[in-house]
A and B are shown apart, each in its own frame.
Chain A
Amino acid sequence: MARKEEPKIQPNNDLEKKIIEAFEVFDHSGKQVVDVREIGTILRSLGCCPTEAEIQEVILATENKEATGNIPLLNFLPYMCKAMIEHRFYPASAEMLLAAFRYFDKEQRGFLTKEKFAQLMLEEGEPFTQEEFDEMMQTALDPVTDTITYEYYINQLMVAPRDVYNIADEVELERKRIEAAAPKKRRASSLLRATQI
């Protein structure tokens, strides 16, 4: 079915550029849509740390209503910009992660047994698939003692640039600066422009 050729969305600032680039890695057709199943990966590649439930939210909010199963950049871009400015899906700090591990380590031994950890990860929270768990065990598990020494493991997971949030902050700052600099009578129209997604 013939669709009118849609003009390519142009980024207006660094934040949009970053989001568009992450999006395009998964856009195989070149038509500025991605499969819904890739959204989680896209979000995480930007540096966000959403839960599975949050990903579902994003999908619901941005999915193409006529042809479900894909998400157009047209919906995704404004949603994400807003989310980044609001610091949603912000990754918890290493301390929080450590606290979470420690919570399960009742005797404070500094490690968790494989059985306990498997039971937790496969049954609690938003459970891992067996594949995800096996993959994690390859790096997390100490094969000699069959335990997970989580303090060392956390360091491995620690590649956490919060770039996208910093960029979002700057973009927001810039926008506020421009707004503040504008004379009062124009504020309404610029407000309209800002909310016009």
Chain B
Amino acid sequence: MFSLAEGCGCVSFRGGRRARSMGDDSSSCRSSEIEQEVPKKLSKRLLNGECTMKALAPFLKFWKRDTVSMTKAERTMKAAILIQQWYRRYLARMEVRRRYTWTIFQSIEYAGEQDQVKLYNFFNALLSHMRETSGRPSSERTSRTASVMEQVFSEESDEGGGVDETALPKHSRGPDLEFPLQRKDIDLLIEAFRKKKHRLHPKQVAQILKEASQMLKRLPNINVATTSISSQITICGDLHGKLDDLLVIFHKNGLPSPENPYIFNGDFVDRGKKGLEVFLLLLACMLAFPGGVYLNRGNHEDLIMNSRYGFIREVHQKYRHNAERLLKLIENVYRWLPLGTIINNRVFVVHGGISDTTDLDMVRSLERDKYVSLLRPPVNEGASPAEVIDKVEWKQVFDILWSDPQSISGCVANALRGAGTYFGPDVTATFLSKNKLSFIVRSHECKPGGYEILHNGNVITIFSASNYYELGSNKGAYLKLCGNSLDRQFVQYTAAVSRTRRLTFRQRVGLVESSAMRELHSHIMTARRTLEATFRSMDLDQSGFISISDWCYAMEETTHLGLPWRMLKDKLVRTDPETRRVRYMDTFDVPTNKVGRKSDTQTVVETLYKNKRSLEAIFKILDKDNSGYITLEEFSEACQLLGKYMPNPMTQEQLVDICRLMDINKDGLVDLNEFLESFRLAEKSLHEEEHTLAELQAT
């Protein structure tokens, strides 16, 4: 396929610049001639390692032939370049795979967050819809869902009065902490968490949580931090339950103290397996080293997020009998966490970011404890005064916890996450000058190097959970601000995991990639029906094949993930080399190896189930005539509403199926027990699946 007249891509050595080689130029174009000379069979044998001197002859001749025109140096250079350009191409392909793997993880993660927000919009709509259509006094209606809030508000007063709360029962084997906490207790705690042998006794967990919320209550909405005593301060980003990373940070940078203050910028829990340990350790440090620890709330310091992203499950697993109580205490800590910190009146540290409407005065003056969960929508009028939440104020809090910076100017709603905004460099500049601040430090987004500097240095993203998506996916980092000028120093690290030996770049990429492909697969499966229908409509000759372009179009139109489908296609479907069409049904084949991270994607039923705490409330809402039973009509009406908010609305028959499934005694009606039971069964099978996966992972 070469045309000798045109350049064949070999570099010419004339003056280092590539010159188009002409046919009669004896140097570079030999390669094309040789290409055509070598018969196909020979090349195959060469590749298989069957080399003989005879086979090599043409090549040897090739090099020797040029003794007249090419010096040895030139030949050396040419050969070296050939090897180098080949290797660089190989490396580049790895890099691209790493890039799009990252995109996959990120877009699925954000799509998931979006679902979560949509789900809560649905609950809100359900609430208002039901309230309107029924004749009941609104207080009873709202009371059910508000009751969750109320349960939390009430202080625990029945602690078994008279008994010394801090004394542990004799048989307890976990670490014995003494309150008020001191350095020695922190050391004990770290030892206990690291060794994983005996859990901290639930009474002590509760004590830490209670004392923490007492301390946090006294803090303002925006912490005030200063480096006047310490001359430096360390800022850490998302930890997401990665205890190893936190221990690496403490090891490298020392434990907190007034001389070594830390700011932890939210998202302590969810996704990682040790959210509870991380959270308790941070709170304990805050109690033991006053003035040494500043905590900011993140969007994951929210029980609703926790129900989806794993923290609630973790608490149930670790403290089976006390989970509900502990979660209530945790929720109380969440609502009292400050929303941000300002250092030396110059640096604004907040979890998400800002928006063009961010008003620090409003943020400082609002009652932050009203926002038990950020995702609870503002309750409408007709509810009791204590529950009315101002929409403008709500947006303020949402924006600082959920926003992301963008490189283009302006401020737009963050459609990807479903909440908060994308804010541009102009918004940052205006905000900083209006509030007389120098720069913003935020977290919320995972970065390959653990940190990123944007908006001409005005915005820094710091992310402290290494290996976040998968082993080898990214480094973690923390930021030190030193001296009066607050010089920035970034420290990167990767928490070592004992079972891995040093992986090559290719192996790391492969590992992360296969994990991403599994996630992507799960996501695709939730959209299977729509996809299949689209594919079939494109397959005009019913051959089972459609063009590459059609397939890419269908994938993007259905999933809206914004992924480079052309690049991914070889991983998802088989392509016929002659017609270059893809066999679209391959899209739904399961990826072969099973070990890896469990996917977060869920069906509607699973999503509903995850919000177990609200299930009873849902039931009562659905049961419009308060008969104690839900009829098919009531249920399908609610699900039609659901359809507007969920990405893959169910068909009428799917709804009927679900309702029938729930009607265990087959009397045509679903009562509360059946309703709850069907979700319990769903959870049981989910747990079994996790158990099997965990077993496979352990091998």
Contact = CB atoms under 8 A, between A and B. Distances in A.
Given A87-B2, A139-B504, A126 B84 contact: yes
Interface in B68-101: 75-93, 95-96, 99-100
B62 A87 contact: no
A132 interface: yes
Contact of B62 (A24, A29, A91, A99): A99
B79 A104 contact: yes
A28 B562 CA distance: 12
A145 interface: no
Given A125-B84, A135-B505, A54 B11 contact: yes
A42 to B, nearest CB: 8
Interface stretch (B45-53, B212-220, B238-246, B486-494): B45-53
Contact of B99 (A25, A89, A101): A25
Given A91-B86, A99-B63, A53 B9 contact: no
B506 interface: yes
Interface in A102-132: 102-104, 108, 110, 120-121, 124-128, 132
Given A45-B92, A53-B11, A87-B1, A24 B82 contact: no
B435 interface: no
Question: Which interface residue of B9, B18, B407, B552 has the most chain A CB atoms within 10 A?
Answer: B9
Contact of A44 (B46, B59, B93): B93
B566 A17 contact: yes
Given A88-B9, A135-B505, A151 B86 contact: no
Interface band, chain A = 35 or more
B59 A99 contact: yes
A95 B51 CA distance: 11
A159 B1 contact: no
A54 B18 contact: yes
B56 interface: yes
A78 interface: no
B651 to A, nearest CB: 34
Contact of B567 (A21, A108, A151): A21
Given A91-B89, A139-B506, A157-B86, A29 B407 contact: yes
Given A49-B85, A91-B86, A151-B49, A124 B80 contact: yes
Contacts of B10: 92
Given A25-B100, A49-B86, A96 B7 contact: no
Contact of A102 (B59, B93, B95, B548): B59
A98 interface: yes
Interface in B367-414: 406-408
Contact of A100 (B11, B49, B83, B103): B83
A156 to B, nearest CB: 8
Contacts of A44: 88-89, 91-93, 96
B31 interface: yes
A31 interface: yes
Interface string A167-189: 00100000000000000000000
Interface string B503-547: 011100000000000000000000000000000000000000000
A86 interface: yes
A24 B564 contact: yes
Contacts of A94: 43, 46-47
A30 interface: yes
Interface in B31-55: 31, 34-35, 38, 43, 46-47, 49, 51
A136 B88 CA distance: 10
B135 interface: no
Nearest to A136: B87
B130 interface: no
A125 B77 contact: yes
A152 B49 contact: yes
B16 to A, nearest CB: 6
B408 A53 contact: no
Contact of A125 (B9, B59, B80, B103): B80
Interface string A22-34: 1011101111000
A166 to B, nearest CB: 8
Contacts of B31: 92, 96
A21 B564 CA distance: 6
A25 B564 contact: yes
Contacts of B548: 14
Interface string A144-162: 0000000110110111000
Interface in B653-699: none
A196 interface: no
A110 B50 CA distance: 11
B585 interface: no
A138 interface: yes
A99 B92 CA distance: 23
A108 B548 CA distance: 45
Given A14-B548, A152-B49, A96 B34 contact: yes
Contacts of A151: 49, 51
Contacts of A98: 46-47, 59
A90 B8 contact: yes
A68 interface: no
Contact of B9 (A26, A87, A95, A99): A87
Nearest to A43: B92
Contacts of B62: 99
Contact of A51 (B81, B90, B407): B81
A169 B1 contact: yes
B492 to A, nearest CB: 16
B428 to A, nearest CB: 16
Contacts of A103: 63, 75-76, 79
A47 to B, nearest CB: 8
A25 B567 contact: yes
A50 interface: yes
B35 to A, nearest CB: 6
Contacts of A64: none
Contacts of B85: 49-52, 126
B600 interface: no
24 contacts: A29-B406, A29-B407, A29-B408, A44-B88, A49-B9, A51-B18, A51-B81, A51-B84, A91-B86, A94-B46, A97-B82, A97-B86, A99-B59, A99-B62, A99-B63, A100-B80, A101-B83, A104-B79, A125-B80, A125-B84, A128-B87, A152-B49, A159-B90, A165-B1
Give the 7 A-B residue pairs with the shortest CB-CB distance, closest first. Answer: A125-B80, A44-B92, A124-B80, A125-B81, A45-B96, A100-B79, A138-B504
